[in-house]
Structure 1
Amino acid sequence: MKKILFPTDFSEVSKNAFVYALKLAENIDAEIITLHVYELPVVNNTDGFPSYLVEIYDVVELSQFESYKGQIPLLRDIAEANNLGHIKLSHELLMGDLVGNIKEISKKEQIDYIVLGTKGASGLKETFLGSTASDVLSNTDAIVLAIPEKSHYSQIKNIAFTSRFREKDRAALLKLLKLANGFAAKVHCLYVKTPSSDLKEVVLADWQLLFKNENVDFHIVENENVEETILHFTETENIDLLAMLHYKRSFLEGLFHFSLTKKIVHHVQIPILALHEN
């Protein structure tokens, strides 16, 4: 059985993303491991470690445990409300660094997907985007699904996949098609042709032949503004999920000449799927 890691702070953003985690689990036959991470208060002290700090830390840990224990039934309620009470759930409450714990659990449990709730302007933005998300992506083998704050689950019918029609993209598309088939969704493979593009017609023909029996359409759009084109495409094609290939150089960079996904995630309200290169 596949495994999904779902880090949560029990905010409304996280609860909204949990529905996506549940739906994903149902479609790929996976279990979900929820993760809540807390940190002990930092105390500047030059006179050693006073005994009262032990009591403070004990109180903090007990408070976190009680709060966490109270939130678990709420997650089960969300599952039941979406007719997904049969999804297997387990829970982890850990102290320390969020990213470090995500890495450790991902490796120990051989996590297949990490589902993250994201905010656009503050709060989880710094936690789940930028360098932190880059660190998670670069140090785990899991596929990462980022759910924007205002993205409420609806049936996934159309998935956009940005591509440069290279071997790495082909392997990623094959992986994505397995996911799409679980949702009975169509994949729209998008190539934005700029003045500096080097796509050859024979390459495109080869891809079309290779995937002729799959539920995938190929779109070549000429425009020098890549970001604007992708945003427009997600709107005109009623895209429910935007998939991009994560290159190891940095967080979803390398697909184009700038940090496309980090800019897009602030504007679109559809989930973004980060696939790893092989």
Structure 2
Amino acid sequence: MKKILFPTDFSEVANNAFIHALEFAKIVKGELLLLHTFELPIVDNQFIPDNYYTIFDSLQLAQFDMFKEEIPKLRELAKKRNLDHIKLSHKLMDGDLIYAIKQVVKEENIDFVVMGTSGATGWESFFVGSNTGSVVTAVDVPVLSVPAEAQYDKIKTIGFTTRFREKDKAPLKQVIKIAKKTLAEVNCLYVKTNKSDVSDETINQWKTEFEKEPVKFTIINSDLVKETIMDFVSHKNIDILAMITHKRNFFSELFSPSLTQKVSNTSVVPVLAMHEEG
């Protein structure tokens, strides 16, 4: 059984992502572990007020009470979508969110992380200096990010960006597994720039290797890589975009604010950030 970590602050954005997390759990036959973190005030030891520990305890208790109130609401959301059979467990931790996620991923052998992303444009807030962008680079498991505007719809087409490198094959095979479970097609996009050095022979070898799979390849000649990816999402009716994180700042480059403004009319879809092998 796959284990999916779902960090939440119980906001509307997070609750929207929770629906995606439930549906994703159904597809991969997984269970959800809900994580809520909170920061306690840091006080200099020399100046601890007499009532500090009382404050500390009441803050912890307030968080715990809020947690207790919110969990039934999420169970109700699951029930409404006939997904109340998905196993839910939960964890409440104090401290830094990114640190907590890293710790839980390691200790609980998590397979996927699903998170909601907020902000006016979805893409921008998600990747530029946001929690989710930090999570993508902090953990070694795939992270599915769900922009606030993304309504769950049946997954029919998964986009996958590739550069036809040998190390892209393992993530693609993982995406194909997910696609098969929801009877979806995988549409692989290669943006061929003037600097591209991928031979026709390599492309044909990939086509041959994956010919029995529900995969098609789209090759577009363009030097505007980021804009081409956005157009691809919009025009090919992509429901989830799977991308390999080639380097630490890849996502913040790809979804910079200036680019986001240009493509604000693009349909916003969840992004599955995957790590390259080796």
Name the residue aligned to 2:2.
2
Across the aligned residues of Structure 1 and Structure 2, the Cα RMSD in angstroms comes to 2.3
- AA of the residue aligned to 1:22: L
Task: Give secondary structure in 2 for the equivalent of 1:161.
Answer: strand
Which secondary structure state, in structure 2, belongs to the residue aligned with residue 274 of structure 1? Answer: strand
Query: Separation in 1 of the partners of 2:106 and 2:124?
Result: 24
- TM alignment of 1:65-84, pairs within 5 A: 65-84=64-83
How many pairs are equivalent? 272
What does residue 106 of structure 2 align with?
107
Letter in 2 for 1:259: E
What aligned pairs does 1:126-137 form with structure 2 within 5 A after superposition? 130=129, 132-137=131-136
Aligned position for 1:143: 142
- What SS class does the counterpart of residue 220 from structure 1 fall into? strand
**Residue 220 (structure 2) pairs with residue 216 (structure 1):** no
TM-score normalized by the length of structure 2:
0.91
What CA distance in whole angstroms lies between the structure 2 residues aligned with 1:142 and 1:108? 13
Over 3 Å counting, the alpha-carbon distance change for 1:28 and 1:12 in structure 2 is same
Distance verdict in 2 for CA 1:80–1:143, change over 3 Å:
same
Alignment partners' CA distance in 2, 1:251 and 1:155: 31
Aligned position for 2:55: 56
Shift in alpha-carbon separation, 1:46–1:7, aligned structure 2, 3 A:
closer
Q: Secondary structure at the match of 1:15?
A: helix
For residues 182-206 of structure 1, give each alpha carbon's deviation from its aligned partner in whole angstroms, at most 9, with x where no partner exists.
Answer: 1111100001111111121000000
- Identity among equivalent positions (%) equals 44
Superposed CA offset, 1:53-89 (max 9, x none):
1111111111110011000001101110111010000
Distance 1:91 1:127, change over 3 A: farther
Kept after mapping to 2: 8 A contact 1:118/1:129: no
Contact 1:4 1:113 in 2 (8 A): yes
CA distance in 1, matches of 2:256, 2:90: 30
Q: Which runs of 5+ in 2 are unaligned?
A: none
Aligned twin of 1:260: 254
Does the 8 Å CA contact 1:130/1:251 hold for their aligned counterparts?
Answer: no
Per the alignment, do residues 171 and 127 of structure 1 end up closer, same or farther by CA in structure 2, a change over 3 Å counting? closer
Contact 1:143 1:276 in 2 (8 A): yes
One-letter code aligned to 1:242:
L
Counterpart for residue 234 of structure 2: 235
Q: Which residue of 1 aligns with 2:193?
A: 194
Q: Give the direction of change, closer, same or farther, for the CA distance of 1:98–1:147 in structure 2 (3 Å limit).
A: same
What is the TM-score when the length of structure 1 is the normalising length? 0.91
Query: Which sections of structure 1, spanning at least 5 residues, go unmatched?
Result: none
Report the counterpart of residue 165 of structure 2 in structure 1. Answer: 166
Structure 1 SS opposite 2:51: helix
Partners of 2:148 and 2:193 lie apart in 1 by 32
